[in-house]
Chains A and B, each alone.
Chain A
Amino acid sequence: MATLRKRLGVGILSAVLLSLSLTACGGGSDSGDADSQGGVIDTSNATGEVSYWLWDANQLPAYQACADAFHTKNPNLTVKITQAAWDDYWTKITNGFVGGTAPDVFTNHLSKYPEFVSQEQLVPLDETLAKDGVDTGIYQEGLADLWVGQDGKRYGLPKDFDTVSVFYNKKLIEDGGYAVADLQNLTWNPDDGGTYEKTIAHLTVDENGKRGDEAGFDKSKVAVYGLGLDGGSGAGNGQTQWSMYTGTLPWQVTDKNPWGTHYNYDNADFQKSMGWMRSLIEKGYMPSVEAVTGQSAGDIFGAGKYAMVTTGSWMIGQMYGYKGVQTGTVPTPVGPSGKRSSMYNGLADSIWVGSENKPGAAKWVEFLGSAECQDIVGEKGVVFPAVKTSTEKAAAAFKAKDIDTDAFLIHIKDDTTFLFPITDHASEITGIMTPAMDSVFTGKTEPSSLTDANNQVNALFE
């Protein structure tokens, strides 16, 4: 009996050691074996399956239609699309990189792509695109440049873009005595907010029916805010919170964009603007950070609590979908520069370094970046494709749904866009700026405290 037990013990021990050695083999990344040094991918004989990930389920039908068209054109290639919700998407991608299960092609986002480049997870596309004669001039201005890394290599082909504008609730506007035309040409400045602030004040209503610019307005009992706040202070770039105002100042977030290495949160004009945002909150015209920690700005807008709110074009479907609210859009206000401004962001599709079907992946990326696919996407009316001609198709598709997109596209027409800031250390910067900005908006610290945060951010680049 004793020997049997001993044998069992030995057997167990060896099983354990075996599994330990297996895990030792697997520890660390597998994905460094593929070449990330560029080099042409020959797409002429591409076959097989290409896996493609995206997060927005609303766009899935559009891209499935693209995939079907692609398959018709290239019978040897099939695209398998997987959708994962935003919350899980990046976790799965990162795990995929580490574990070797990442997809061949995936939708990439500007806030993540610098890190992926520095981790050498993306395939440079320049030589392949040159060989296949892909013209990167068909896209809206500036979009293609966003996806060129610090090393000068291109890591994605633009697929869509977004801008921000002011969404309004028709009934609440009319209750305030405004016509839509009155809102089309508001002005803003960081000192007193211009006509923009006056409108916001007038549209704010407290529970007793008093408006924000009337005597007896009770800012502790606001029923409708003149201007909503999208989720919080906006951290380092305030894309939907304040970038449309600061963009009209003679101020740049970074020394250059893309790939700046010095941030400018210590700028006086910028800090004055943050002070202005805070003043709106203090006057009761805009909800506080406390008040917006919770459900999305869209939902609160849908509940009729915001007369206006600034947010991006990706929210069009949702904002126009709320029953009981008639939504419209007007462009962002004109600032001290005499012009409007909107941050300009765009998604692209990238190829993973560890992909086992790079020729197929490259062909799919080229198709995604082509007018043919982007026309299909544009016609569904869910997003603005990057190709200039496809954008027009999308505008028409939106119009057919009774959605006027002029307020978004005016920035393209008037060339008043500026790029989403792209630098290294994006997540760490967010980690520093989110609490710092929240703290300013809640009144806990003064806008001048942002100089200190700026120093912390710039220290990352040393």
Chain B
Amino acid sequence: MTSESVEMPVGTISPPAGRTPKLKKSRPGSGRSELGMALLFIAPAAIGFLVFYLYPTIRGFYFAFTRYNLLGSPRFIGFDNFTKIAQDKLFWNALVVTTEYVVLNIVFQTIIAIGLAVLMQRLIKSTVIRGTILLPFLISNVIAALVWFWLLDYQIGIVNEFISWTGLNRIPFFGGENWAIPTIAAVNIWRHMGYTALLVFAGLQMIPDYVYEAAAIDGSTEWHSFWRITMPLLRPILALVLVITVTGSFQVFDTVAVTTRGGPVNASRVMQYYIYQKGFAEGQFGYACALSVILFIILISVALIQLKLLNADQSDLA
């Protein structure tokens, strides 16, 4: 972004003694450190983080090295859980199944969300439309899953009634091994596309109109403007959206718990469900924590890679 000279209001006070103007792209360490102010600003959030996130996580990491069924005392067993995981067929199955889900979810959800956001921005800005698109997000995950579980039921769901009325064979949306994960992904996309579109839309709002106008005057088409202006300027928001959706997708649970419960035959036994099954249903809490540690490491790595690739720390708008 080119910067034009800032109009100094009349009666400018010269900078107070001791203050130096900030550098354009400040990096920590250079320029004055605002540690004190920063600590104050972060304090409440930091307390929340330490007490409700960090401490339980450390505890969880500890349990990963124990055998623990929640009601006795944890017994330290070193890396045993992890070696067991490496040989656990269901663990590898969970990884594959979850990755399949994540890829489907991300690709389609991001495309649809960006498309919807741009449509809302450019085509029609009505709050009614926006409210409509956001509607699925207003009902809980569990209700959404229950409703779709019924709508897509093989024998009495209206979608299959319609399909069979057209003469095609009914589709076992939730019951078919190859259909289960795509169906679950579709349900979650349905529920979240409005929400994701809203995030992207908020990002679009931050792009000033004159940028587009300048481009239009230079002869750019809508499509061209989208790729050359919108997408790059959306980068921090896109990074946010991608990290959030990827992380959230890896942790999919509610929909599976309400509908397929891991079936048919492990086709939808995603990581989080497998963890829950081991930890709460089967009483192997230590093992479940070990699985969670692995999931955690995967998520952090993926997020860091995403952030680095997308250069999310900088914004072209600033």
Whether A and B touch directly in their complex, counting CB atoms under 8 A apart, is answered as yes
A residues lining the B interface (CB < 8 Å): 1-2, 5, 8-9, 12, 15-16, 19-20, 23, 27-29, 31-32, 91, 94, 97-98, 115, 119-121, 220, 232, 287-295, 299-300, 303, 305, 427-428, 431, 434-435, 438-439, 442, 444
Closest to A299 in B: B156
Q: Inside 8 A of B152's CB, which chain A residues have their CB?
A: 294
Q: Does B226 contact A (CB under 8 A)?
A: no
**Least Cβ distance of B48 to chain A in Å?**
10
Do A23 and B55 form a contact, CB below 8 Å, given A12-B43, A427-B283, A434-B263? yes
Q: How far is it, in angstroms, between the C-alpha of A94 and the C-alpha of B283 when the chains are bound?
A: 10
Contact assessment for B156 and A300 in the assembled complex, using a CB-CB cutoff below 8 Å: yes
**Least Cβ distance of B253 to chain A in Å?**
13
Contact assessment for A431 and B263 in the assembled complex, using a CB-CB cutoff below 8 Å: no
Contact assessment for B175 and A428 in the assembled complex, using a CB-CB cutoff below 8 Å: no
Contact assessment for A438 and B264 in the assembled complex, using a CB-CB cutoff below 8 Å: yes
Contact assessment for B265 and A98 in the assembled complex, using a CB-CB cutoff below 8 Å: no
The SS class assigned to the B binding surface is: loop
Do A28 and B156 form a contact, CB below 8 Å, given A293-B174, A431-B277, A439-B265? no
Contact assessment for B71 and A98 in the assembled complex, using a CB-CB cutoff below 8 Å: yes
The SS class assigned to the A binding surface is: helix
Q: Inside 8 A of B260's CB, which chain A residues have their CB?
A: 293
Q: Does B309 contact A (CB under 8 A)?
A: no
Q: How far is it, in angstroms, between the C-alpha of A438 and the C-alpha of B260 when the chains are bound?
A: 12
Q: Inside 8 A of A428's CB, which chain B residues have their CB?
A: 282
Partner of B281 from A289, A299, A427 at Cβ < 8 Å: A427
Do A121 and B51 form a contact, CB below 8 Å, given A5-B39, A295-B150, A431-B282? no
Q: Inside 8 A of A31's CB, which chain B residues have their CB?
A: 71
Q: How far is it, in angstroms, between the C-alpha of A112 and the C-alpha of B218 when the chains are bound?
A: 72
Query: Could you write out 6 A-B pairs with CB less than 8 Å apart?
Result: A16-B51, A19-B47, A290-B175, A291-B155, A427-B281, A434-B263
In the complex, which residues 108-148 of chain B have their Cβ closer than 8 Å to any Cβ of chain A?
Answer: none
Contact assessment for B282 and A294 in the assembled complex, using a CB-CB cutoff below 8 Å: no
Contact assessment for B72 and A291 in the assembled complex, using a CB-CB cutoff below 8 Å: no
Assuming A290-B154, A292-B155, A427-B282, what are 14 further A-B pairs, CB within 8 angstroms?
A: A5-B39, A8-B43, A16-B50, A29-B70, A31-B71, A97-B70, A232-B263, A291-B175, A294-B149, A294-B155, A295-B156, A435-B265, A438-B265, A442-B264
Q: Inside 8 A of B71's CB, which chain A residues have their CB?
A: 29, 31-32, 97-98, 119-121
**Least Cβ distance of A231 to chain B in Å?**
10
Contact assessment for B155 and A287 in the assembled complex, using a CB-CB cutoff below 8 Å: yes
Q: Does B232 contact A (CB under 8 A)?
A: no
Q: Inside 8 A of B172's CB, which chain A residues have their CB?
A: 288, 290-291, 293
Most B CB contacts (10 A, CB to CB) among A115, A119, A431 go to A431
Contact assessment for B51 and A8 in the assembled complex, using a CB-CB cutoff below 8 Å: no
Q: How far is it, in angstroms, between the C-alpha of A438 and the C-alpha of B73 when the chains are bound?
A: 36
Q: Does B266 contact A (CB under 8 A)?
A: yes
Q: Inside 8 A of B247's CB, which chain A residues have their CB?
A: none
Q: How far is it, in angstroms, between the C-alpha of A300 and the C-alpha of B262 when the chains are bound?
A: 22
Q: Does B2 contact A (CB under 8 A)?
A: no
Closest to A287 in B: B155
Q: Does B169 contact A (CB under 8 A)?
A: yes
Closest to B49 in A: A16
Partner of B280 from A16, A29, A94 at Cβ < 8 Å: A94
Q: Does B36 contact A (CB under 8 A)?
A: yes
**Least Cβ distance of A105 to chain B in Å?**
19
**Least Cβ distance of A300 to chain B in Å?**
5
Q: Does B230 contact A (CB under 8 A)?
A: no
Q: How far is it, in angstroms, between the C-alpha of A5 and the C-alpha of B174 when the chains are bound?
A: 57
Contact assessment for B51 and A19 in the assembled complex, using a CB-CB cutoff below 8 Å: yes
Partner of B155 from A15, A289, A300 at Cβ < 8 Å: A300
